[in-house]
Amino acid sequence: MPLQVNVVSADQQVWQGEADMVVARTTEGEIGVLPGHVPMLAILAGGEVRVTQSGGRKIVANAEDGFVSVAGDVVTVVARNASLVS
């Protein structure tokens, strides 16, 4: 089952969709999330969030000042400032 990914910033929803893997930079270093990950809440260190979709397509977003939450294959990247890079 693919991951449901949401990237939201304070004033809008930046991206939403399904993905195979999400890589985000937390204060402890980069962390990769695959389906079946344990529930997690981590603080973002700022920088890129990379979302890999099933076709191998990559979506890169800049996210600063927020956190990433994982609960039951739903990944939410919540950042005060977030924008899509590509």
Partner 1 sequence: MGAQLRVYRQRIRSAQTTKKITRAMELISASRIQKAQQRVAASTPYSRAVTQAVSAVATYSNVDHILTTEKENPRRAAVVIFASDRGLAGAFSASVLKEAEGLSELLRSQGKEVVYYLVGRKSVGYFTFRKRDYLRSWIGGTDQPQFETAKEIGDELVEAFVRDTDEGGVDEIHIVYTRFVSMVTQTPEVVRLLPLEVVDGVEEPEADVLPLYEFEPDADSVLDALLPVYIESRIFNAMLASAAAEHAARQRAMKSASDNADKLITDYTRLANNARQTEITQQIAEIVGGADALAG
Binding site residues, partner 1, CB under 8 A: 6, 8-13, 26-28, 31, 38-43, 66-67, 69, 71, 76, 78, 80
**Nearest-approach distance from CB 61 to partner 1, in angstroms:** 14
Tokens representing 10? 């304070």
Please identify, using beta-carbon distances, which residue of 43 and 60 lies nearer to partner 1. 43
**Nearest-approach distance from CB 53 to partner 1, in angstroms:** 20
At 36 the three-state DSSP class reads coil
Q: How many residues does the chain have?
A: 86
35, 22 Cβ separation under 8 angstroms: no
